[in-house]
Structure 1
Amino acid sequence: MPAKDLIGHAKGLRSILKLYQTAFDQTYTDILDIAFLPSLQAENQLFQPILEKLKQYMGGGIPKVEEDQYFLNHKGKEIEFNLVAEGWRKIAVFWYILRNYPHLRSGDVILWDEPEANLNPSTLKGLAECLSDLSKLGLQIIVATHSYVLLKELEIHEARDLKFISLYTTDQQGVKASVATSYEGIEHNLIEKEFERIYRLDLGSWLERDNDGHQGR
C-alpha cells in the first residue's frame, strides 16, 4: 500500500491510468485495481477478527463501493470518500482489501509505505496490533516507517519474527542495512537520535528555568 491515498479521487482516474501514460507509479494502479474488486460471496473468515478491530478504529463504519467511488457507511450515513479524513480512508481501504482480495493467504507478503502517514498517533496502537495479528497468521508484513510509536507498538505486540532494518549510507559503500531483533538494538537509528536531541533541549530548557528561579529567590 502506498503512502498517498488516491481512492478518494478514483472516479474516472482508473480509466485514465489504463489508457494514458502518466507519472503515477505502477503501485497506485495496482492498489486501485485491488481496491475496486467486487465483494466476495463468502467473506474470508481467516481475517474476520482483524476486520472487526479495524471496523472499531473507523468508529464502527465500513466502506462501501459503488461503481468507481468509495463511501464510508458511518452511523447510518454514507459519506463520500473525499470528505473522509485521509487516515480513515487508508484504514477503510485496508479493511476492504483484507475482506475481498481472494488470493491473500498465509505465506503472502504485504508491503506498506508509511502506514502512519495522516493517522492520529493514538490510532497506531490499534494498527500495530492488526499488523502483528496478520504476521501471526503467517503473512509477512514489510513496513517502511519513520514513526517511533509504530515501531515500539509492533515490538510491544510481539509481531511474529519481528526484524528492524535500518538503511543508511556511507561514503565508500553506498547504502547499507543494519538488522536488529529489538528496537533498542537498532544501529544508525536517526529516529532515536532526534528524540534524544529534543529531549536534551527540553531538559536543558527546564534546568535553565529552574536555575533562574532559584537565583531569583
Structure 2
Amino acid sequence: MAQVTKYALLKKEIHALSVTLDTLVSVADNDALMKGLLANVEPHISELKKIVENPTEYLFSAISNSFANALKDNFQISNLADLKNYRSAADDLAQFDFAQLGSVTLKKAALTVALNPDSFAEFRQFNTIVYLESPVYWKMAAALQSVRQDKRQLSMYGWQKINYLTGVPRYVYDLLDQLSHKRKISHPIGLDQDTINAAIGGEIKLSESGDFYFQEHGYADGVGLHSTALGITNLGLISLLLKRGVLGEGSCLFIDEPEAHLHPSWQKVMVEALFELSTKGVNIIIASHSIDMMKCIENIMEREQDNLDLDAHFGINQLSADGNSVNMSDNVFKRIAAIKEDLGQSFYEMFVDSAWLG
C-alpha cells in the first residue's frame, strides 16, 4: 500500500511540474534565454510523464532499444536484418524463446522483445556473462582501448551524432572493463589454475597500468601478449578470469572455437578446465569443430556417467549448414558419435585417397 501511495504522489508531482512548465513557456515569449532553458527541460519532463503514466510499457521499450543497440554493437552491423541467415526470405521471422523469461523476435529490421514481468527477479539473479572469441583481440588490447578513447573524445567535442561502428564488438570492451578491476568474491571457485599455468609454462597477468602480459615461469620479466603465442593467450585467459574474480558461481562463459591455436594436448587441458568450471556452477557454452575436443568430452562423460546426470549436465547439439539441429538421438553418446563421424569425414577421405595412390 505504501508503494502505491508513493507512486500516486509521484505521478501527481510530475503532472504539476508539467503544468508549471507550460505556464512558464507561455510567459517567456519575449525572453530568449528563458525559452532556451525551458526547451532543454521540456524533453526530460515529457520522459518523466511517460515513465509514471505507463512504467511497464516504458521499461519494455527501453529494454528493446537497448537490446537492439547491443546486437548492433556486438555483431558490428548497421541493420539488424543482417543477423538473419542469408538463405532466409525477407519476411521470415527469427525468434528466440527464453521460456519463462520471455522471447525476442526479429522481422526484417524490426526487433520486438516480449518479457514476462514476473521474471524480473530472475533477471536480477544473472551473474557475469563472458564471451571469448579470437585471442587476437587480446594481442591488440592497447590499440583497441585507444580506438575507444578516440571515440569518447569525439563525443566530448560535440560529435555525438556521429555514431559509427568501430569494428570491435562490444563484448570485447565489456570484458576488458571487467578484468580491469579485481573483484571481491563471496564464493570463490576452487579451480586448480596450476594445471593451466603448467601447460602454458606461465600465466597471463595485468600490470598496474592496465597492460596484459605473459609471465613465463622462471623469468623475472614479462612479455607483451603481442609477442606471445595465440594458444598461450587462449588458454591463459581462463586462468586470468578466475584470478580476477570475473567468473563465479552462476556466471555464463561463451567460447567460440576454444580449440583455435591450441595444440591437441592443450585442447585436452582446456576441456578438462571447462568441465571442472561447470561442476563449480559456471554455465559453459562452446562451439567447436575439433574432433579432439569432442573425444575429450566423450571420455569425460564416460568417466563421470556414474557421478552425474549426463543429460542434465551436458547439452550436445550438432548443427547443419543452415543452422538446424541434426542427429538428435536420445542417446548422448550416439550424438557425439555422429559429430565425430562428421568431423572426421575429410580425414577419412584423405586416407582413402592416399591408399589408392599407394
State TM-score, norm by structure 2.
0.50
Distance 1:106 1:118 in 2: 28
* Helix, strand or coil at the partner of 2:189: helix
Q: Does 1:68 align with 2:189?
A: no
Structure 1 segments of 4+ aligned residues over 6 angstroms from their partners: 41-44
- Residues 48-197 of structure 1 correspond to what in structure 2 (within 5 A)? 48-49=191-192, 51-59=193-201, 61-66=202-207, 67-74=209-216, 75-76=218-219, 77-102=221-246, 104-158=247-301, 161-169=313-321, 175-178=323-326, 179=328, 182-186=332-336, 189=339, 192-193=341-342, 195-197=344-346
Distance 1:44 1:15 in 2: 35
Q: Relative to 1, partners in 2 of residues 1:175 and 1:196: Cα closer, same or farther, differing over 3 Å?
A: closer
Provide the aligned C-alpha RMSD in A.
Answer: 2.8
Map Cα deviations across residues 8-30 of structure 1 (whole Å, 9 max, x no partner): 22124224225524121112212
The one-letter code of the counterpart of 1:71 is Y
Distance 1:121 1:134 in 2: 20
The one-letter code of the counterpart of 1:205 is S
* Helix, strand or coil at the partner of 1:107: coil
What residue number does 1:7 align with?
A: 138
Q: Relative to 1, partners in 2 of residues 1:139 and 1:64: Cα closer, same or farther, differing over 3 Å?
A: closer
Map Cα deviations across residues 51-95 of structure 1 (whole Å, 9 max, x no partner): 121111121x12221223211111223112111101101222221
How far has the Cα of 1:123 moved from its partner?
0.8
The one-letter code of the counterpart of 1:206 is A
Tell me if structure 2 keeps the 8 A contact 1:164–1:182: yes
Q: % of aligned pairs identical?
A: 20
Tell me if structure 1 keeps the 8 A contact 2:268–2:296: yes
* Helix, strand or coil at the partner of 2:250: coil
Q: Relative to 1, partners in 2 of residues 1:198 and 1:24: Cα closer, same or farther, differing over 3 Å?
A: same
* Helix, strand or coil at the partner of 2:142: coil
Tell me if structure 2 keeps the 8 A contact 1:5–1:90: no
What residue number does 1:212 align with?
A: none
Richer in strand (by share): 1
Q: Relative to 1, partners in 2 of residues 1:16 and 1:47: Cα closer, same or farther, differing over 3 Å?
A: farther
Q: Give the gaps of 5 or more residues in structure 1.
A: 210-217
Q: How many residues align structurally?
A: 200
The one-letter code of the counterpart of 1:168 is S
Distance 2:143 2:356 in 1: 58
Larger radius of gyration: 2
* Helix, strand or coil at the partner of 2:323: strand
Distance 1:182 1:131 in 2: 19
Richer in helix (by share): 2
Map Cα deviations across residues 110-130 of structure 1 (whole Å, 9 max, x no partner): 111111111112211111110
Higher RCO (Cα < 8 Å, 6 or more apart): 1
Distance 2:204 2:240 in 1: 7
Tell me if structure 2 keeps the 8 A contact 1:87–1:117: yes
Distance 1:44 1:71 in 2: 27
* Helix, strand or coil at the partner of 1:34: helix
